[in-house]
Amino acid sequence: MSAAPQPEAICTQCGVTLPPPALSCPGCSALVHAERLEQLAHEAQAASDRSDPGRAHAVWKQVLELLPPESVQHRSVQNRMAELVKQLPHLEPPAPKKPIARWAARLGPVGVFLWKSKLIVLAVLSKGKLVLLGLTKLTTLTTMLASMGLYWTLYGWKFALGLVLSIYIHEMGHVLELRRYGIAASAPMFIPGFGALVILKQRPATVGQDARVGLAGPVWGLAAAGFAFAMFLLTHAPIWAALTRFGAWINLFNLIPVWQLDGGRGFAALTRANRGVILGVAVLMWLLTNDGVLFLVALGAGYRLFTRDYAPAPDAPVLQRFVVLLVLLAMLCLVGLPGKPA
């Protein structure tokens, strides 16, 4: 016997239908649990007034769960909780930074550089382990091999291997960002000849989260194309130039701000003025590179400039990420072409 469907939640400020896990309205950014948050804030303040930091910390923790992670209020509550931790010896304070090893300190600046490099390498390796987790999923591995078989027959095994790995890294960028927000999703699944996809099992709580999840794919795809470019500089092998160009091109294509492409999800968090900035950058890079995909990005940005689904408040990190991706991917599309920078 199936349960009765839950009635749709409606924003009291603008009337927009709210997805079940939403913490803020996608239309006007109003907090969904505003009344409950106000009650909890009064309760936490009352606990602080009666010198009960333990209770205040517990209540602020409840507040934190009802606030969008990227909101100013979320950061403010985190700061309050950090101050309360200092008043509670039984609560574990943030872990102190690890001191530099003695051998590194004795070597002076060189030793410090080597020690910092070691920490960076360990961080990269830890991310690498997470990326490789996707290959443990049978659907990912089998569909990936099927795609590689198709591309192998068309382009040879070297390009086929680089191509599927580039697509895989792009998709794992989405997966890792979804994991950071605690959003359930499937493992990457390849569609031979069409790329790959990740199926979300629940919607992001805010348009800001959705935009960051969408742009995470091109960000990781940019890293893969950058690696191919570095290998091309080291070896001057044409295969690396081809992988650089194709990796940059496919991620640039995903930035077209329409439909369910990554650029479309990123645009949902941008204001009309922000969209105008993206339009200007896309046109500029198109004129500089003469790449048709940038014309399509500009065309999509021009269209979305006049739709009414723009965000009411600017999201600077999303805007900056979008601009950097457009510029760097456009430049990588030129690698190895006659008369273009190597």
Query: Where in the chain are the domains?
Result: 29-94, 139-332
Q: Residue 256 is encoded by which pair of tokens?
A: 């077209």
Query: Residue 65 and residue 77: Cα distance in Å, rounded?
Result: 10
- Please check whether residue 255 is in contact with residue 326, taking contact to mean a CB–CB distance below 8 angstroms: yes
- Please check whether residue 204 is in contact with residue 210, taking contact to mean a CB–CB distance below 8 angstroms: yes
Read off the pLDDT of each residue in 287-300 and give the average, rounded to a whole number.
Answer: 94
Residue 200, helix vs strand vs coil: strand
- Please check whether residue 265 is in contact with residue 211, taking contact to mean a CB–CB distance below 8 angstroms: yes
* DSSP assignment letter at 7: P
Of 3-12, 40-49, 291-300, 325-334, least confident by mean pLDDT is 3-12
Query: Residue 146 and residue 164: Cα distance in Å, rounded?
Result: 10
Q: How many helices (H) and strands (E) does the chain have?
A: 13, 4
Convert the pLDDT of each residue in 10-68 to its tens digit. 766 666 666 666 777 666 667 777 778 878 887 888 777 777 888 888 888 888 888 87
pLDDT attached to residue 65: 84
Instruction: Please enumerate in sequence order all residues whose Cβ is within 8 A of that of 66, keeping only pairs 6 or more positions apart, or say none.
Output: 23, 31, 32, 33, 36, 37, 40
Query: Residue 25 and residue 15: Cα distance in Å, rounded?
Result: 9
Confidence of residue 240 (pLDDT cuts 50, 70, 90): very high
Confidence of residue 98 (pLDDT cuts 50, 70, 90): low
Query: Residue 24 and residue 32: Cα distance in Å, rounded?
Result: 5
Read off the pLDDT of each residue in 91-98 and give the average, rounded to a whole number.
Answer: 49
pLDDT attached to residue 262: 93
pLDDT attached to residue 52: 80
pLDDT attached to residue 90: 53
Convert the pLDDT of each residue in 196-229 to its tens digit. 888 888 888 788 889 999 999 999 999 999 999 9
pLDDT attached to residue 283: 96
Q: What is the pTM of this model?
A: 0.62
CA atoms within 13 A on the CB side of 191: 6
Which residue is listed with tokens 């959003």? 183
- Please check whether residue 221 is in contact with residue 326, taking contact to mean a CB–CB distance below 8 angstroms: no
Please check the confidence at residue 112 and state whether its pLDDT lies above 80: no
- To the nearest whole number, what is the mean pLDDT of the chain? 80
